[in-house]
């Protein structure tokens, strides 16, 4: 299958998810991936100029339009063929970036209801760099590694601090410049793009060490309900705690089977108290979450889901 991905210049979690996944999937399926710009794990050998893409326009079995800054929408519509076009919409809100009816399939990150037959849920997944072995050498009971960037996050941090419990890691873990620069080596974006758009670019080693050494880790919505933090926690092996949401996820994780879900601060307190005395059950839940995510929520599996839905 020859696939054109019209991708963003900047690092975009969902674009990175699908491109990394397609490259992984190519080890078991014939996938020839072509991208429009060097970013989001696209390999330099996969980048083609506009002229080359126009010349090959009739050869693409599938054309994918991404979202975010710098996406060449005009090029996409010039080369996309009817019945062979999809959008992967990673925007932070439930509004559609483009009209879904114009595409064969429309994959949406922030999806709460299926308003059209051709719409599919498509949240982030666990990037390879986030995936680590489950650790039993735990330093923290709970990691709440975020700042007061939203009202919900600020209130939650204040509440957790009011408990005065030991072994809770609070607050942001800033990424230093060297760790941010590693994003260029990883292929998340070019140096010129990194200079003007550094959001999430790089690999925050200190932050991931904290997650790996925590029994539990709390995630909260940010700009969108689906967050990188949700999948980072699952990839680290800590048990995820997340507020109840209506977000659509294919092959979803189940509350009390794979993670802990809460509806209020009282509910959160009850779940944390339970976790303090039920370490064996928590560890079993961590293991079940790892097995479920390995089957359904790696970048390879998210890309497989996209290709399989298109091929139906």
State the Cα–Cα distance between residues 71 and 76, nearest whole angstrom: 9
**Token pair recorded at residue 191:** 């140096």
pLDDT digit string, tens, across residues 23-64? 999 999 899 999 999 999 999 999 999 999 999 999 999 999
What pLDDT score was predicted for residue 56?
Answer: 95
State the Cα–Cα distance between residues 128 and 203, nearest whole angstrom: 12
Answer yes or no: is pLDDT of 154 > 80. Answer: yes
Rounded to an integer, the average pLDDT of 281-287 is 97
pLDDT digit string, tens, across residues 217-276? 999 998 889 999 999 999 999 999 999 999 999 999 999 999 999 999 999 999 999 999
Answer yes or no: is pLDDT of 114 > 80. Answer: no
**Token pair recorded at residue 136:** 């039993």
- pTM of the predicted protein model: 0.95
Q: What is the bridge-based pairing of β-strands 239-243 and 260-262? A: parallel
* Cβ proximity of 106 and 116 under 8 Å: yes
- Domain locations along the chain: 2-125+299-311, 128-296
State the Cα–Cα distance between residues 308 and 28, nearest whole angstrom: 14
Residue 176, CB half-sphere, CA atoms under 13 Å: how many?
4
Rounded to an integer, the average pLDDT of 282-309 is 98
What pLDDT score was predicted for residue 26?
Answer: 95
* Cβ proximity of 50 and 32 under 8 Å: no
Answer yes or no: is pLDDT of 113 > 90. Answer: no
* Cβ proximity of 149 and 131 under 8 Å: no
Fold of 128-296: Rossmann fold (3.40.50)
How far apart, in Å, do the first and last CA atoms of the chain sit? 14
* Cβ proximity of 231 and 301 under 8 Å: no
Domain 2-125+299-311, second-level architecture? 3-Layer(aba) Sandwich (3.40)
């Amino acid at each position: 299958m020859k696939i054109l991905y019209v991708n963003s210049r900047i690092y975009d979690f969902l674009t990175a998810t699908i491109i990394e996944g397609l490259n992984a999937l190519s080890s078991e399926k014939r996938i020839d991936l072509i991208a429009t710009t060097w970013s989001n794990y696209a390999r330099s050998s996969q980048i083609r100029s506009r002229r080359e893409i126009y010349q090959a326009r009739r050869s693409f079995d599938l054309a994918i339009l991404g979202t975010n800054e710098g996406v060449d929408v005009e090029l996409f519509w010039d080369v996309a063929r009817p019945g062979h076009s999809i959008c992967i919409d990673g925007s932070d809100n439930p509004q559609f970036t483009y009209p879904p009816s114009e595409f064969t399939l429309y994959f949406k990150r922030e999806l709460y209801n299926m308003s059209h037959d051709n719409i599919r849920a498509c949240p982030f997944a666990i990037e390879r760099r986030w995936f680590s072995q489950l650790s039993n050498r735990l330093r923290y009971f709970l990691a709440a590694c975020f700042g007061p960037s939203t009202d919900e996050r600020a209130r939650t941090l204040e509440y957790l601090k009011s408990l005065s419990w030991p072994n809770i890691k609070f607050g942001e873990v800033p990424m230093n410049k060297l760790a941010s620069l590693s994003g260029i080596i990883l292929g998340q974006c070019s140096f010129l793009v990194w200079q003007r758009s550094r959001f999430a670019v790089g690999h925050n080693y200190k932050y991931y060490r904290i997650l790996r050494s925590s029994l539990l880790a709390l995630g909260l919505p940010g700009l969108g309900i689906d967050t990188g933090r949700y999948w980072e926690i699952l990839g680290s092996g800590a048990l995820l705690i997340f507020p109840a949401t209506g977000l659509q996820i294919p092959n979803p994780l189940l509350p009390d089977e794979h993670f802990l879900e809460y509806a209020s601060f009282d509910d959160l307190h009850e779940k944390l108290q339970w976790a303090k005395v039920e370490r064996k059950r928590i560890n079993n839940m961590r293991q079940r979450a790892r097995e479920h995510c390995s089957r359904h929520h790696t970048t390879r599996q998210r890309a497989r889901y996209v290709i399989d839905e298109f091929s139906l």
